[in-house]
Structure 1
């Protein structure tokens, strides 16, 4: 342990990371630098500074990363329409590569030879943090206290705080039984009664969305403007990526949109039940597919859909900085050149309904698609030869006695 002189800790200011800060200085006899990220979690991050100072920390970083998070991580992911296992919009997963990036940047700035995080040895986050760190700084040492110490209960953590005079903030009122993570894209809930996959979540668990039953009886209409696959305005008002996320979270949450209750397969091998609120993300993925539907070529769109599960898996498993994710991103971004225009949406009691889409780059040709007289724009007789050629292999197989009904 003596080879570690300085370590940068991903620090929230909560119980776990406060204990970790002290434990690192005691066990490794090293200097600790704290890093707290504002990713739009909706809580004040500045109090982490006073808590770090009380622990004797001299170098304290508190960074507002909301715009970088939305612009360089969330928006590129949504160009891919990424969904993990058909349901999860990757809200926690996509935040980890940015945190890893900043940890390494601070380590380089301060001359630290190690980084540390508070992820447990059971979850995905340890993998995501560390894969990112090693990709960006191969020789860095990573310290994961939950894989080393024996402080594996709240009682032991509290006893450690008392022994080392670490102030613990006692929040008034009922303590949430859930482990939660929040950023601009989502808030997640794990633990408590959710560990029984048959148990219905309590209504008061949800913090960002009203229940669809209690959502307004009148729909809310919004219009999103896209440029090259990214939303740049809401109802004609220009917005930065973070502003888009903030406003859509508010509007969609008020209409009961974005709840998900999922049992997912963690990269470390176990199944895990989690509940998520992703109001803005739910709207964005629906709207993005709508603008792509009129601006993307058919086979380009289909190929993109084939790539999406692999892309989503890479993000979920922590391979954001991998060459294969960058390769897929380049291919996906190339498809977005003409994905510009407007999408009109109706938000109503948990539903996102596309009610209109338009673009100067639209490939929708009304003169061809019409059910009325197309004035010769499409020769329907051409379909006969098309069908006969595409049925050729089927007709040959059937003529050789390969009866399809046998299956």
Structure 2
């Protein structure tokens, strides 16, 4: 669609540097379109404060706030935890939010007869793919505008120059200009000194960490936490029934205070480059650990091993923006089947960034102390000899062939 035909747009609006300057840029470069700034509430808390006033003051014509936190948890986060989806040590975060926000943007764009959807993702990142694949899934004919792929701005410093020239208020300075993304699950840090992998993250520096503390400054005594699951869904914390969303909030608080969930990695982006990111995922790290512990008790060997294989594929689909695809839906159906007996209680000990398993119990436990005990039991150890002979038969035959011992040679 030509620029002159763009009369009304929906802008994925966070109030950060990128989306703040996009509003005046759209007005200047797209013939002054009607701009609906849409913020998706995925649990970024204080970052939502004052967004409406800021958007309108910057030139937006309308502002919407979508409350997507519960939907993100129930539709994406919990199914991913159940799947054990981990991408190169990364427990996702940004990838959880983008599909659900993209879907919401389409709903608002259609309801308001908009000509295009605009996002502030750079041409180097993963989020452009995640947003756009979600948009294409629900509005395949919708025009998408990505200013970073059009404008002449080349860096975040130049973005700040543009903001200052257009009197766009910013909460950051050039010195604190980390690229961050925050939702209820995590906080990511990129840029500045982190672009050099030889620089250690400044965990102890005031203001760097937002969801917790460094393990060094965490309490010198451990904290215990108990999580109850029903069919793989967290339903209670320390014996108190709560929604999965509220449990994650509680775990964020508990984990953050104990220095849990810090990750510093150089990861492989979808677009082909490596990037260095520092992530805070206090509650999510605890939840993953608890769920994995329960599966060791309740999931049979063959299913567990196949699930580990498929979890890599599941994680890649999520990371690569392919949440709304037939393959992901098929994998989720498999995961749901594996969770039927994933009911039980996991107790963990948290201490200075470490998560230590304390106790696991389940009415569907496949563990039998009577069978595996080193003490006396009904297990017939003599049976192992025949098992080994049959299990090793191919190896034995191959060795006999090599040594000329096989009959009829």
TM-score normalized by structure 1? 0.93
Offset of residue 77 of structure 1: 0.6
Map 1:288-367 → 2, pairs under 5 A: 288-367=291-370
RMSD over aligned Cα atoms: 1.8
C-alpha distance in structure 1 between counterparts of 2:386 and 2:157, whole Å: 76
Corresponding residue of 2:22: 20
Corresponding residue of 2:120: 118
C-alpha distance in structure 2 between counterparts of 1:198 and 1:167, whole Å: 35
Against the structure 1 CA distance between its residues 142 and 244, is the aligned structure 2 distance closer, same or farther, given a 3 Å change threshold?
same
Against the structure 1 CA distance between its residues 162 and 293, is the aligned structure 2 distance closer, same or farther, given a 3 Å change threshold?
closer
Offset of residue 396 of structure 1: 0.8
C-alpha distance in structure 1 between counterparts of 2:192 and 2:12, whole Å: 25
TM-score normalized by structure 2? 0.93
Offset of residue 285 of structure 1: 1.1
Corresponding residue of 1:49: 52
SS in 2 for 1:338: coil
| Stretch moving more, 238-247 or 216-225 | 238-247
C-alpha distance in structure 1 between counterparts of 2:163 and 2:200, whole Å: 35
C-alpha distance in structure 2 between counterparts of 1:111 and 1:340, whole Å: 46
C-alpha distance in structure 2 between counterparts of 1:55 and 1:74, whole Å: 33
C-alpha distance in structure 2 between counterparts of 1:180 and 1:56, whole Å: 24
- Mapped contact 2:68–2:101 kept (Cα < 8 A): no
Against the structure 1 CA distance between its residues 169 and 271, is the aligned structure 2 distance closer, same or farther, given a 3 Å change threshold?
closer
Corresponding residue of 2:202: 202
Offset of residue 120 of structure 1: 0.5
Q: Please point out which of 11, 34, 37 is paired with 1:34.
A: 37
C-alpha distance in structure 1 between counterparts of 2:69 and 2:213, whole Å: 24
1:234-258 C-alpha deviation (Å, 9 max, x unpaired): 0011111221111101101111111
C-alpha distance in structure 1 between counterparts of 2:177 and 2:366, whole Å: 51
Offset of residue 158 of structure 1: 4.5
C-alpha distance in structure 2 between counterparts of 1:58 and 1:364, whole Å: 61
- Mapped contact 1:46–1:62 kept (Cα < 8 A): no
Offset of residue 162 of structure 1: 5.2
- Mapped contact 2:106–2:139 kept (Cα < 8 A): yes
Corresponding residue of 1:130: 132
Asked if residue 101 in structure 1 is aligned to residue 81 in structure 2, the reply is no
- Mapped contact 1:70–1:245 kept (Cα < 8 A): no
Offset of residue 380 of structure 1: 2.0
Asked if residue 178 in structure 1 is aligned to residue 181 in structure 2, the reply is no
Asked if residue 383 in structure 1 is aligned to residue 384 in structure 2, the reply is yes
SS in 2 for 1:260: strand
Number of equivalent positions: 398
